[in-house]
Every structure is written in C-alpha cells, then in structure tokens.
Amino acid sequence: MDPYPSAPLPWGTRTFIMGIINVTPDSFSGDGILKGSDAVEAAVAQAAQFLHEGADILDIGGESTRPGSQPVDADEELARVLPVITAIHAAFPDALLSIDTYRAVVAQAALDSGARWVNDVWGLHADPNLADVAAKHGAPLVLMHNRLKPDSAELQARLGGRYVGVEYDDLLADIQRELLESVALAHRAGVPDAHIILDPGIGFGKTVEQNLELVDRLGAIKTLGYPLLVGPSRKSFIGYTLNLPLEERVEGTAAAVALCIDRGADIIRVHDVGVMTRVARMTDAIVRR
C-alpha cells in the first residue's frame, strides 16, 4: 500500500533508482559531460544506457557541487542543461527527468523543456522562489540538507575533497530541524506534502565520521514522514574510509546503498546505475518481504 496518497511514485513498493547525468566539466565523479553538440549526443546515449539498466529517474545537473568547485552563473547553467533535457525528452518522452538546480530561473526553463522534478541541493535556502516554480508546475521537489562551506573543504590529489571541522550540536536533530525549515518554505509556496522528498545531504558539509553516522542512523530522517532520497554514490566518505580513489568506490557505494535502503531510503541517486539497481533489488528482496 502506498503510504503517501497521490504521490508521484508508489513509495514503499520498491527502491527507485535515480541516475546522475552531469553536464559539467568538473564533476567530482569524473563523469561530467561538457556542453555542445557532442555533449547532447553523449547525454542521450547515457540516458539510454541508464534507462536500459533500470533507472526510474534521470537527474540532470549543470553545476558541480564538489568541494572546491567554482559556481557558474544562470546563463551558463541553462546553456549546459537545456539542450540535454530537450534532447533526452525528445528521445524518451516517457522518461522521468529531474533538474538538479537551486535556481528558480533554471528550474522554470527545465520544467518547460520536459523535466518533471526539481532537485534542490540547498533546500530552498539559496533561492526560495524555486518553491513557487515547483508549486506552479505541480512538480515533485527534492529538498536536501546542506551545510557546505568552502573554507571547511580539504582537498587531496588522490582521494579528492572532504569536509573537516564541521560542527553540529546534535547531528541528526540538527539535520531534522533544518530539513523541516526547508519543508516550511515549500509549504508557504503551496507545494503539497505529497510532492516533497527529503535528502539528508550525505557529503554536503559533513565530515567522514558524520557521514558514516548519518547512513547508520538514516531512520531518524525517515521519521519526519516524507519519502527519502539518498546519494552516497562514489562520495569522499567512502574514499577516505577505504583509502580508495573515486574510480574504485563501487563496492563501498554498494554497501552504503544497501544500508540506506535497509534504513528507509525510497530513492538512491547513483552513477553506476546497472550495478546499484542489482544491489537495490537484492536488498529489497530481503528488507521489503
């Protein structure tokens, strides 16, 4: 039985897979697609592969969020993502496309071009007008927890970026409270509960130890009563725990994905769609009996 009536997906029936399509030159995962005609062709091919491998949602983003990355302006972000969204929507009109942005102007254009969800890594704190756009379009809205601060980032050549010295009074209670602040912003704009999805923000303004604790105690976020999206894929907390570069983190990601599903995740956001779809299906067979 769907615990969230009138929701965009039948939550609780299985774990849904969100495949990441990065239209960026500087993605932390190393899989970014540059803009241009070749990028559009590559993105459509990646979308086809992800859908074949079991992706339920394709999340398209035009700005890197890795530690130390440089922000881009709205015009550049639009130039990167809109041709890709338009082309993927044309090739796969039934595919569920999500725009990964914190800007209202980008969300508006993306939704007009074929995207149906909005994934905001700042949980409406960067641009509260984004909630108005989602409400107007009736678009499901992912609200992520984020305490990212550039001066708390530490970069290593082999393992990439991580956050250090990030302090919480109470990790889970603070994340719960700040996510509910984002929910309140969405409510004020008219976004209904059935269209709100929460993301605890693994890797965003959290140390390695804090990320490990968050995965282990993910059930505390689930108690807020909203569907839960998690994105542990290839993240630095895996690399620093296992002392492995990003291209060798598939097993660590699989372990994190399985545990997140066990602790209540409804959607997993991943780079390695085929492998993680199998991990999710096996975990579902055990925990959703």
Name the residues annotated as catalytic: 235, 269
Residues 6 or more apart from 42 whose CB is under 8 A from it?
A: 33
Tell me the CA distances in angstroms from 192 to 133, 210, 241, one per residue in order. 13, 31, 39
Residues 6 or more apart from 23 whose CB is under 8 A from it?
A: 32, 33, 34, 35, 39, 43, 60, 61, 62, 80, 81, 84
CB 283 within 8 A of CB 262: yes
CB 170 within 8 A of CB 213: no
DSSP conformation class of 49: H
With CA atoms as reference, report the closest residue to 220 among 188, 257, 179, 251. 179
